[in-house]
Amino acid sequence: MEVTVLVQAISKAFEILEKARNNEEARNEARELLYTSAKFTSETKSVAERREARALLSGAQQSRLAFRNFAITFFILFAFWILLSGRFDYFHLTLGIICSILVAYLSHDLLFLNVRLGDFRTRARRFFAAGPWFLGQIFSANLHVAYLALSPKMPVDPQIIRFNTKLDSDISWVALANSITLTPGTITVDIREGEFFVHALDKKVAYDLNTGQMEDQIAHVLMEADHVYIQDVLDVSRIFGALK
């Protein structure tokens, strides 16, 4: 990871320098990123320093993130418990708290797997921004299925399509599978090691799915298409400052 981050940091710094010839503040920021990446490379050569850097990244920060993810997952689950149960007596609220704590403890790393500090806000912003697109897909798919059902010729051509996803995490697979199933005309039948098996009602529905737009939206929302971002460089800067 360190090599990838540093290469990306240097590349980003030079990119900023190229684009910000008349912006002194941006040029200073680029120089600082370049300086930080260079210093981090030179001052973490020893095994002990590398272990210390890894401990700083995966130790206290990971513990803090794990607790935050657990708390957020608990409140989400408890809110759904109250919403779906509709009961506010002592027994049901206590039972909801116990169940939410247990499920959050077992699955908090699923919803927030590998989420860096600050990425949660980015994911939330992207989720709400992508909402209208998903609703539009569901609405248009409803109209198409209604046309197939009401047409006298019933032009239905059911088929099973297979495709390999570029998504990596389990939560991304679940999000894509549910998004496909929620869209009328398609149902996710099975997932095997990243290979999706989907039942499509006709050729148009299959073609729309094969365009990969839904997969790209999921990747964008869950930041699987971002790989190394500027946030990585900022994380490295904090590590370098702690080592210094």
Q: Would you list the DSSP string of 99-133?
A: HHHHHHHHHHHHHTTTPPTTHHHHHHHHHHHHHHH
The predicted structure's pLDDT at residue 87: 82
136 in the same domain as 81: no
The predicted structure's pLDDT at residue 78: 92
159 in the same domain as 232: no
153 in the same domain as 79: no
189 in the same domain as 240: no
CA dist., res. 160 & res. 154, Å (int):
19
101 in the same domain as 149: no
183 in the same domain as 103: no
Task: Note whether 191 and 181 are within 8 A (CB).
Answer: no
The predicted structure's pLDDT at residue 88: 84
Count Cα neighbours of 82 within 13 Å in the Cβ-side half-sphere. 11
124 in the same domain as 38: no
SS3 157: coil
The predicted structure's pLDDT at residue 123: 77
Q: How many domains does the chain have?
A: 2
The predicted structure's pLDDT at residue 11: 63
Q: What is the pLDDT along the chain (244 residues), one digit of tens a residue?
A: 444 555 565 566 666 656 655 566 666 666 666 666 655 554 444 444 555 555 554 555 566 677 777 888 899 899 989 988 888 888 989 999 999 999 888 877 766 655 554 466 777 788 889 999 999 999 999 999 998 888 888 888 889 999 888 888 788 888 899 999 999 999 999 998 889 999 999 888 888 888 888 988 998 888 775 444 444 455 555 544 544 4
Residues 6+ apart with CB under 8 A from 115: 65, 69, 123
The predicted structure's pLDDT at residue 1: 43
Residues 6+ apart with CB under 8 A from 229: 223
214 in the same domain as 143: yes
- Containing structural domain, residue 209: 119-221
143 in the same domain as 106: no
CA dist., res. 240 & res. 244, Å (int):
6
Per the document, the length of the chain is 244
127 in the same domain as 232: no
165 in the same domain as 127: yes
DSSP letter at 60 equals H
DSSP letter at 189 equals E
The predicted structure's pLDDT at residue 196: 93
The predicted structure's pLDDT at residue 122: 77
104 in the same domain as 68: yes
The predicted structure's pLDDT at residue 70: 85
The predicted structure's pLDDT at residue 194: 84
| pTM for the whole structure | 0.55
The predicted structure's pLDDT at residue 106: 84
